[in-house]
Amino acid sequence: MDIESILGPRVAIRGVCRFTTERAQRGFRLNTFLTSMRQPQQREAFARDPEACMANHGLTAQEQDMVRRRDYPAMLDYGASNVALGKAGPALGVSLLERGAQGKGQTSQEFVAERRAANQGQAWQF
């Protein structure tokens, strides 16, 4: 059975960043910090004093710097789970669309406009 021909063509995905075992190991402390933002008291603590909150979680200087700059590509490459970054989105004040725009080097408006244009005029029901 030729699986590839049944599945159809692959596509090139640029900048692939998988949540590998190495990233999981390096990013564990950062991910624990990010997922803690599910708790209202942690969100309040971060909003009140982000520096103290990060220090209390024992983040390293490098980790604190990436969080401070909301540098999503750097955090992902370091070992942040994309899902953990999502948990912390409201606390960090960055939406999924804003992260998309950052990933592509666009403004949010440009990103949304490009996605809408890409999806327009499709025959959805195959």
Whose Cβ is closer to another protein: residue 4's or residue 48's? 4
Of 41, 61, 119, 121, the one binding another protein by CB under 8 A: 119
Buried b (16+ CB within 10 A) or exposed e, 69-93: ebebeebbebbbbeebbebbeebbe
* Token reading at 70: 């909301």
Exactly one of 41, 48, 61, 116 binds another protein (CB under 8 A); that residue is: 116
Asked whether 80 and 30 are in contact (CB, 8 A), the reply is: yes
Q: Verify binding: residue 67, another protein, rule CB under 8 A.
A: no
Q: How far apart are CA 44 and CA 50, in angstroms?
A: 9
The site string for another protein over 4-43 (x = CB under 8 A, - otherwise) reads: x-xxxxxxxxxxxxxxxx--x---x--xx--x-xxxx--x
Instruction: Verify binding: residue 73, another protein, rule CB under 8 A.
Output: yes
Dihedral sign (CA 40, 23, 17, 58) = positive
- Footprint on this chain of another protein (rule: CB under 8 A): 1, 3-4, 6-21, 24, 28, 31-32, 35, 37-40, 43, 72-73, 76, 81-84, 86-91, 96-97, 99-100, 103-105, 111-112, 114-116, 118-119, 122, 124-126
